[in-house]
Amino acid sequence: MAENQNKNQNQENLSEILQIRRDKLTALQEAGQDPFLVTTSDRDIMSNDIIERFEELENKDVCVAGRIMSKRGKGKVMFMDLHDRGGKIQIFAKFDDLGEEVYKGLKKWDIGDIMEVKGFVFKTQMGEISIHATAVKLLSKSLLPLPEKYHGLKDTDLRYRQRYVDLIVNPEVKNTFIKRSAIIKSIREYLDNNGYIEVETPILNTIPGGASARPFTTHHNTLNLDMYMRIATELYLKRLIVGGMERVYEIGRNFRNEGMDVRHNPEFTCIEFYEAYTDLYGMMDRTEQLINKACVAVNGTEEIEYQGDKISLKLPFKRVTMIDAVKEYTGIDFNEFYCDTEKAKEVAKELHLEVKSTDTWGNILNSAFEEYVEDKLIQPTFVCDYPVEVSPLTKRKQDKPELVERFELFCKIGELANAYTELNDPIDQKKRFEHQLMLREAGDDEANMMDDDFVTSLEYGMPPTGGVGIGIDRLVMLLTDSASIRDVILFPTMKPIEK
């Protein structure tokens, strides 16, 4: 009963605040001062520039613009904190400088309003760099109060739904996305400087290929054709290698109709890059260099902390085979019963692994790795030599054709990168697609479909090629110490609130 009364009281208080703000807007409009008719600002500097260049700018005139985040003072003197993209700056306003009418109007402005301030730079007696206002202008009126009495938005669900409010009241959130932009810029610079060409490939596909995942489906009305949102860019990028572009990359959204958790969002950003005349070892070098440079670009160091663990991104990263990794953490050496599926199934029972009727030695090796090894890899580690059963697009190892030339990069964040020496044998590729079709018919809706056109492209000849896919969102999580993928996607997928 008391809880309902408090809730009703809060709603009444909010309604009163909303009405007061609208009344203030009406008064401004009736006085010919409608802030929504203002179209531009004379801003010529950001708050962080003023602070960094104080000695140069002291007593110089500047013009700033941003959101009022606090007001204090009384009588004929007022202090305000103004936030812009660069940070915050204190505003000092006096009745004597602004005049009675302007100063009285300023006192009525609310937390959240957006204003322009002209004045000169100085330092207060308390030592805080500030702007002494000589003119102010209201640029936009905030009709809704900021949450929790302006002390910050804490409800994570609401933060993700209303990211615009999250960015206003939590400056560290804005910093995360500024870092995200810097990470992507660093990746582009590295690849561009190494002769790669950035390209764009279709998001709507007639066949979902390049990964084992459940796709989103849609329908093209004019063509009367069912289509799929892409789950990966791989097969189109390798067509470009066939076409002679030799080094290509794409940064873009992929879409997978799968579960959601702290590391998975239905749409996510990935970079894939492919290079002719190299293999997975060349791509290991590229991958660790790219990640190292991105880390230094945003953190200024090769050693960071992620969720309480110190992570070293110094080169080179550790390299280990999947068989050796499983042996290290389970004591079982899959080399001792190499390709013996019956023995592998016995081992699976000992390890309490789920086994499907279609599983072979390779599937069970991969399951053992996922169950007993993956989450133990805290420092960045390249895991190599995957079984062919879980790598339908990868070239086989010459000495052990049941394994393939593939690596995945793991660290505490989970899987960061996936790479192959690309399969360029069209006959073998077609057989593997056919095996995937068999799995699909057996009920595996994540298995690949047959892509006849891709096989045709390989029949024209693809040079030896290495390729890598890196999850941008997870990389940003790692380099910004963010616990959830939703913390690094501006507008993550959310279930609508039921009305």
User: How many separate domains does the chain show?
Assistant: 2
Please state, rounded to an integer, the average pLDDT across all residues of the chain: 94
Please provide residue 121's backbone torsions phi and psi, each rounded to the nearest 5 degrees.
-80, 135
Work out the pLDDT band at 8, boundaries 50, 70, 90: low
Tell me, yes or no, whether 68 and 191 share the same domain.
no
Residue 446 pLDDT level (bands cut at 50, 70, 90): confident
Which pLDDT tens digit goes with each residue over 28-65?
999 999 999 999 999 999 999 999 999 999 999 999 99
Mean pLDDT of 303-307: 97
Same domain, residue pair 141 and 175: no
Same domain as 473, residue 393: yes
pLDDT score at 150:
41
Q: Is residue 339 part of a domain?
A: no
Spatial distance between the Cα atoms of 473 and 184, rounded to a whole number of angstroms:
10
312 and 243 belong to one structural domain: yes
Residue 8, Cβ neighbours under 10 Å: how many? 10
- Tens digit of each residue's pLDDT (9 = 90 or more) over 455-474: 999 999 999 999 999 999 99
> Best-predicted range by mean pLDDT among 70-74, 167-171, 320-324, 438-442?
320-324
- Look up the CATH number of the domain holding residue 141: 2.40.50.140
| Domain annotation covers residue 197 | yes
DSSP secondary structure letter of residue 74: -
Are residues 248 and 193 part of one domain?
A: yes
Domain of 213, CATH number, reads: 3.30.930.10
- Residue 373's pLDDT is 98
Distance from the first to the final alpha carbon of the chain: 23
Give me the amino acid identity at 194: N
Q: Which positions ≥6 away from 367 have C-beta within 8 Å?
A: 348, 353, 354, 355, 359
β-bridge partners, 170: none
How would DSSP label each residue in 168-202?
Answer: HH-HHHHHHHHHHHHHHHHHHHHHHHTT-EE----
pLDDT at 325 over 70: yes
Mean pLDDT in residue range 357-363: 93
Residue 163 belongs to a domain: no
95-151 tens-digit pLDDT: 999 999 999 999 999 999 999 999 999 999 999 999 999 999 999 999 999 886 444
Q: How many Å apart are CA 386 and CA 396, to the nearest integer?
A: 9
Q: Are residues 176 and 141 in the same domain?
A: no
Q: How far apart are CA 157 and CA 163, in angstroms?
A: 10
- Please check whether residues 177 and 49 belong to one and the same domain: no
Integer Cα distance of 349 and 362 in angstroms: 15
* Nearest Cα residue to 411 out of 381, 385, 384: 381
Residues 185 and 252 in one domain: yes
Tens digits of residue pLDDT in 227-286: 999 999 999 999 999 999 999 999 999 999 999 999 999 999 999 999 999 999 999 999
Domain range for 178 is 169-317+379-487
Q: Which burial class, exposed, middle or buried, applies to 233 when counting CB atoms under 10 A from its CB (0-12, 13-18, 19+)?
A: buried
